[in-house]
Amino acid sequence: MAYAHYVPQFHIRNFGINDKQTARLDKKKNQPPIEVPIASFCGEEDYFSFDENSLSNLPKHLQWIHKNLVDNNLRDHIEGPTSVILKTIISERTLAALSKDEMLNLLEWLAWMFIANPKSLAIHSISLITDNFKEVDYESLSKTDRLKIFVDLHEQITPIFQKRGWMLQLIDPKHGHLLSSDRPVVIGGKSLQESPQLSTQTIFFPISPEMLLIGNNNPVWGFASKPLESTKGAVLLPNILTYDQSYRFMFGADTAHIDSFFKALLNEPQA
């Protein structure tokens, strides 16, 4: 069996204490955040694999297919280029450093990240996009059926991501630090009480502790070359959404960043 990361390690590494460790909060345990190996979480055995029995009766011309085909292709043809795109944004601190094709490729990957996480078929926003999966018992799906649903949902959700207006928000460390999670792409409106229907909500993706990608619900496609200036509010809302929409794990570049988030919620003085 192969341990597959549904959140790529290169994303977690952008929030790393170093190349091998990050600070992590486990929502299921009533404990302070701890430092953990990046390779140790946000993954499952054979997460993107086909069921072996689904490959046993393939026609001869398809017998080259391996059960880890999806995971291997994600790594080589999608995650590899995406990692380079994110490094470019972090280095240049502007979306103007990207071509149109690079931006569209990044958004296609974000749409996949929005889907391919544990329990993701239970996200209310997905059920509002399509009625096809409202009655699906996610826990009972075979690996092969789960992959089919991922692909189907991805085809429906990618255009929603790619039709938006996108901006880069820079974060000054004096205003706080962004966190990410096992569901790194989150959505929200002007208030947390609004219905989380993806087609009308803002999309947030923390690229690093000091950089946030924002897709508003402007139906005109494009991406702004000039980044937004830092504010305290630019940190708190996406961190609240990250905590609320994460399945189990939140992570950041320092345990103090996670502690500061909870202090900010309680309006306590920052250390």
Query: What's the predicted TM-score (pTM) here?
Result: 0.87
Share of the chain above pLDDT 90, in %: 49
Residue range(s) defining the domain that contains residue 41: 3-265
Our count of domains for the chain comes to: 1
Q: E strands along the chain, which residues?
A: 3-5, 21-26, 34-37, 43-45, 165-170, 180-181, 186-188, 202-208, 211-216, 222-223, 249-252
pLDDT of the residue at 122 = 44
Does 157 map to a domain? yes
For residue range 44-93, what is the model confidence (pLDDT) as tens digits? 887 777 776 776 665 565 555 566 666 666 776 678 899 999 999 999 99
Does 43 map to a domain? yes
Measured in degrees and rounded to the nearest 5, phi and psi for residue 246 equal: -70, 150
Does 270 map to a domain? no
Does 200 map to a domain? yes
* Rounded Cα distance, 253 and 15, in Å: 5
Does 271 map to a domain? no
Share of the chain above pLDDT 70, in %: 78
- Residue 38 contacts by C-beta under 8 Å, 6 or more apart in sequence? 9, 12, 13, 16, 19, 20, 21, 22
Lookup result for tokens 């192969």: 2
Q: What is the torsional sign of CA 149, 158, 68, 57? A: positive
In this prediction, residues 236-251 reach a mean pLDDT of 93
pLDDT of the residue at 160 = 85
